[in-house]
C-alpha cells in the first residue's frame, strides 16, 4: 500500500523527547511508538536518526522523520540543512520515500507546493515569530490551505482533543499528527496541575 494511503484519514502520533526532557531515549520512543500503534495510530513522527531506527525496528508503520537542531541566528530548526536532510535520506529506502514541508503560513504552503513537496503540515503555525498565535489548531489557516493547494495537507500543532481531530477532517485534512498530549507526560501533568490550582483560587 502507498505510504500516503496508509496515513490518510488516520492519526499519526509524534513520538519525540528532546535532550532536556525526562523521556529522552530511543528505547522509550520505540515503546511509545508501539503503544501508539496498539492504540490505532497509522504512522509515527520521530526526531533523530537514532529514534527513527529504533521505532522502525519496533513497529511497521510509516515514519515521518525529522532532525531538530538549533542554529544561531536562525528560526529554522526542523531538518534545516543539507546535512540533516542527507542524514534522513541515507537511512530511508527509496521505496515510498516522500518529502513533507512543515509550514507556518499560507505563503509558505504555496511555496511548498511550488517547490514540489509531496505533502505539507501546519506544524509551525503559531510557532514562528511571524505566524498567527492561537491556543488551538489554526483552523482558518488549515481551511485556507486545503481550499487552495493541490497536495495533501496534514494538520499538526496544538492538537490536544478528539474534537480537534474531528474538525480537521470535517475541513478536509488529509491526516492529523498528535504529539504532546499523548507522548509528553510532563506537559499533560502540567495542564491538570494548572486546573487544580485554578480551582483552588
Find, among 50, 55, 65, the residue nearest to 97 by Cα.
65
> b/e map of 44-66 (b: 16 or more CB within 10 Å)?
bbbbbbebbbbbbebbebbbbbb
Pairing verdict, β 100-102 and 11-15 = unpaired
Question: Domains plus CATH for the chain?
Answer: 7-96 (3.20.20.70), 98-173 (3.20.20.70)
Question: Residues 100, 119: contact at Cβ < 8 Å?
Answer: yes
**How large is the average pLDDT for residues 5-14?**
97
pLDDT category, 99, cuts 50, 70, 90?
confident
**How large is the average pLDDT for residues 93-101?**
73
120, β-bridge pairs: 101, 153
pLDDT of residue 90: 61
SS3 labels along 130-150: CCCCCCCCCHHHHHHHHHHCC
- Whether 140 has a pLDDT exceeding 60, the answer reads yes
pLDDT tens readout for residues 143-195? 999 999 999 999 999 999 999 999 999 999 999 999 999 999 999 999 999 99
Question: Which of residues 1 and 10 earns the better pLDDT score?
Answer: 10
CB within 8 A of 127, min separation 6: which ones? 104, 157
pLDDT category, 66, cuts 50, 70, 90?
confident
Backbone angles phi, psi at 14, to 5 degrees: -85, 115
66, β-bridge pairs: 47
CB within 8 A of 49, min separation 6: which ones? 65, 67, 87, 88, 91
pLDDT category, 139, cuts 50, 70, 90?
very high
- What percent of the chain shows pLDDT beyond 70? 85
Find, among 61, 10, 8, the residue nearest to 32 by Cα.
61
How far apart are the C-alpha atoms of 142 and 83, rounded to whole Å?
Answer: 30
Amino acid at each position: 500500500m502507498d505510504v500516503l494511503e496508509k496515513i490518510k484519514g488516520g492519526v499519526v502520533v509524534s513520538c519525540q523527547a528532546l535532550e532536556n526532557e525526562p523521556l529522552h531515549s530511543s528505547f522509550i520512543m520505540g515503546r511509545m511508538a508501539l503503544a501508539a500503534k496498539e492504540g490505532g495510530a497509522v504512522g509515527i513522527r520521530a526526531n533523530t536518526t537514532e529514534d527513527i531506527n529504533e521505532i522502525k525496528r519496533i513497529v511497521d508503520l510509516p515514519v515521518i522523520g525529522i532532525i531538530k537542531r538549533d542554529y544561531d541566528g536562525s528560526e529554522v530548526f526542523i531538518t534545516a540543512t543539507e546535512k540533516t536532510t542527507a542524514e534522513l535520506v541515507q537511512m530511508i529506502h527509496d521505496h515510498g520515500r516522500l518529502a513533507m514541508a512543515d509550514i507556518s503560513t499560507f505563503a509558505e504552503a504555496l511555496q511548498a507546493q511550488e517547490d514540489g513537496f509531496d505533502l505539507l503540515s501546519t506544524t509551525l503555525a503559531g510557532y514562528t515569530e511571524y505566524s498567527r498565535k492561537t491556543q488551538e489548531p489554526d483552523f482558518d489557516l488549515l481551511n485556507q490551505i486545503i481550499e487552495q493547494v493541490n497536495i495533501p495537507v496534514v494538520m499538526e500543532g496544538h492538537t490536544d482533543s478528539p474534537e480537534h481531530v474531528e474538525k480537521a477532517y470535517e475541513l478536509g485534512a488529509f491526516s492529523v499528527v498528535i504529539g504532546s498530549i499523548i507522548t509528553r507526560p510532563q506537559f499533560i501533568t502540567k495542564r491538570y496541575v494548572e486546573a487544580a490550582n485554578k480551582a483552588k483560587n
